[in-house]
Chain A
């Protein structure tokens, strides 16, 4: 369970996030949807404890992301935007490094890596150095790395960026599986169709604010509009840019 209450963040004069509130439940896929620069990444960065909010508070699994940052990190796997790997290490070593930093070791770690290799279909390149991997391969390894400790909360920033059709499909299936296992999945995207196809709840963000939120059906009803894309356009145009 992720709870966000009135969180805001500014960089100098720019208010990147202004009093954003929403929640993401366990066993549900929640999507942060918004145009580029809307504040999705900043919101996620505060949740995965890389940035500190200036105001408001956020809890993951009931723990405060600022005061209990280390505990939050233990129960969470994050895939930041454009997450990079260590090119001189093999895929397995990249994943094992994160596993060790999560306190896994020995046979338990090896078993966990084998499981995740099967789950994400990494077998073909698991023992190759990641230098020269395709974008799809890199994203899969980064995802495996984020899931190595079997986290309850999974935060994905634009996970399908740069993936081809097949890789996107595989990723979607994985995310659905995480939901089946009762995990709390929060992902961001600027692609309407993707969010519509995958998410149980949608939080539309524009100009650092929540423009609308609800299930796809709720949103359609509220705007009396069948086409989600129209809903999206109308929702974000409702929130003017105050700057």
Chain B
């Protein structure tokens, strides 16, 4: 036992003096995620807020044919620009993305209108342009509103109740809570937490295995009266320490960073107080052993530092796959999914941030199954470390 802590202590000290390890464990890993996230959310907020307030610029061809319609649009927050160009030029402008939408009023509009016949307008738009969709929708609904307003007036003029034309009324009831909507974005936090943890242990895991061999310090180490299992478990535990440190820093950085971002403007509220930091730590921490053991196992298969970096780099992506899968299929927490490491942490963490109740049974299942898998991989790694080929 004392020998084990000697190994842990040495690895911690050795790596604490290595700037690269420290930077990746304490700086890049933990702070990159929260920073990127804060910037991303700020941009989203700015766009959403300004989109609502900004009047839609709407070029209109043939505005003189329907002065009432133009007046209606202007009253409803449209900046109507009278275009003397033809429809061909309008098509080009929309295709090139210079304009989001162009309204073309038929020259016969007034005539048909007077006659009580359907009057025609053209909405030139590019359905594939995501950015324009908002302005197109606003224009379309404004035209719809104008149309139904007139319909009601015409029916009333003929002594018919407008209600007769509305046999079914649809009321949209939006049940997504503000926190729920935020969670979609906040779901990314788990990914950043996992990535930061793995980054934190990455260099130590490589240095303690492939690095040790490349330096030539492995062979003399193996001539000491310490079992190889003790050495390897010590190295894995040292990796765990760095990963836990990264996790704490990342959680705190998120808590601090999100307190500066006004999520309320997006109609969201993120639940990321001290309580979530503590609970989140307890939920995510079991993943540390599994991550450290996996990285150490993979790194001890490789012959050089460079080779190890390549393979362990790939390994860092693996825990994000279940999260990706969950995002696409929008899975709900279940007992079975709680046995999948990284996915279970993601689901529980997301629930925590959404301010939803976290099932203690699910949490226990996640902690136990992830820890069990971590112990299993640690055991596999010690088996592998006993192999003679380790010497290369």
A interface residues with partner B (beta carbon < 8 Å): 45, 48-52, 70-71, 73-74, 76, 78-80, 82-89, 93, 97-98, 100-103, 129, 142, 145-146
Give the complex CA separation of A114 and B42 in angstroms. 60
Q: Given A45-B219, A48-B223, 5 other A-B contacts at CB below 8 A?
A: A50-B222, A50-B391, A76-B223, A145-B220, A146-B220
Contact B220 A142 (CB under 8 A): yes
**B227 sits at the interface (CB 8 A):** yes
Tell me, rounded to whole Å, the shortest Cβ–Cβ distance linking B226 to chain A. 5
**B150 sits at the interface (CB 8 A):** no
Could you show 15 A-B contacts with beta carbons less than 8 Å apart? Answer: A45-B391, A48-B223, A74-B225, A78-B223, A83-B217, A83-B219, A86-B10, A88-B14, A88-B15, A93-B10, A101-B3, A102-B225, A129-B17, A142-B220, A146-B220
Tell me, rounded to whole Å, the shortest Cβ–Cβ distance linking A156 to chain B. 11
Which residues on B sit within 8 Å (CB–CB) of A52?
Answer: 388
How large, as a class, is the contact surface on chain B? Answer: 20 to 34
**B165 sits at the interface (CB 8 A):** no
| Per-position binary interface string of chain B over residues 222-259, scored 1 when its CB falls under 8 Å from any chain A CB and 0 otherwise | 11111100000000000000000000000000000000
Which residues on A sit within 8 Å (CB–CB) of B6?
Answer: 97, 100-101
Of all chain A residues, which has the CB nearest B227?
A70
Most buried by A among B3, B18, B218, B219: B219
Which residues on A sit within 8 Å (CB–CB) of B215?
Answer: 84-87
Decide if the interface of chain B is mainly helix, strand, loop or mixed: helix
Contact B220 A70 (CB under 8 A): no
| Per-position binary interface string of chain B over residues 90-104, scored 1 when its CB falls under 8 Å from any chain A CB and 0 otherwise | 000000000000000
Contact B223 A73 (CB under 8 A): yes
Of all chain A residues, which has the CB nearest B18?
A88
Contact B226 A101 (CB under 8 A): yes
Contact A97 B10 (CB under 8 A): yes
Which residues on A sit within 8 Å (CB–CB) of B218?
Answer: 84
The 8 Å CB contact of B17, one of A78, A88, A100, A142, is: A88
The 8 Å CB contact of B225, one of A70, A142, A145, A146, is: A70
